[in-house]
Amino acid sequence: MPSYKIVVVGGGGVGKSALTVQLIHSQFIEEYEPTIEDFYQKQVEIDGQVSMLEIIDTAGQEEYALMRDTYVRSGDGFVIVYAINMRSSFDEVTLYKDNILKTKEADHFPMVIVGNKKDLTKNRQVSLDELKDLAKLFQCAYIETSAKTRENVEEAFFQCVRQIRKYNGGKDPKSNDGLPLGPRKKKLCFIL
């Protein structure tokens, strides 16, 4: 059974943990408690294939950026979360994407941009069109979710797995050497 390591990143208070707990336990977390790092596993069926999701829910606070980079190195794909009612969290999406690509030493990598808190549309500060435009620019998937109502929660993670599969040419996420498959930046080797 293929296993997919998905790293959930985004600013503090955008609902990363709420999305993850809703996926794993079908429960909504009412109280906000900053996360340092949590690890979850869940067996799911995506497009007719049984798979194991290994989800790392990271801290949104900047003081944990070094720890987050460690998880980014090991991720097969990324769910970048912002809150539709927090413009500043949407503005941070580019920073997270750039950090992922820099850490992975890649020009492109599987990721999904998730606009969470869709249930708060009356307080919306980021339009769906802005999300679509950013996803098109990044050449990645996007979706709006509500961790509270469970709307599109599974689909957000399933889209990430589809992006990983596409990136890897339909193969399992790990090659024989344990490194993710897919396009890699070429490294120069000098023989003296």
Residues in CB range of 152: below 8 A, 6 or more apart: 118, 143, 144, 145, 146
Q: What is the CATH number of the domain that holds 56?
A: 3.40.50.300
41-51 pLDDT, tens per residue? 999 999 999 99
Report yes or no: 9 and 16 within 8 Å, Cβ to Cβ.
yes
Among 5, 3, 161, which Cα is nearest to 70's?
A: 5
Bridge partners, 113 (sequence order): 80, 142
Among 68, 41, 35, 39, which Cα is nearest to 56's?
A: 39
* Residue 131, domain member (yes or no): yes
* Residue 90, domain member (yes or no): yes
Domain that holds residue 142: 3-167
* Residue 176, domain member (yes or no): no
* Residue 54, domain member (yes or no): yes
* Residue 47, domain member (yes or no): yes
Band of residue 70 on the pLDDT scale cut at 50, 70, 90: confident
DSSP string over 13-56: TSSHHHHHHHHHHS----S----SEEEEEEEEEETTEEEEEEEE
Band of residue 176 on the pLDDT scale cut at 50, 70, 90: very low
85-118 pLDDT, tens per residue? 999 999 999 999 999 999 999 999 999 999 999 9
Among 123, 99, 74, which Cα is nearest to 10's?
A: 99
Calpha distance 86→117 (Å, rounded)? 10
129-154 pLDDT, tens per residue? 999 999 999 999 999 999 999 999 99
How many beta carbons lie within 10 A of that of residue 49, not counting itself? 11
Number of domains in the chain: 1
* Residue 192, domain member (yes or no): no
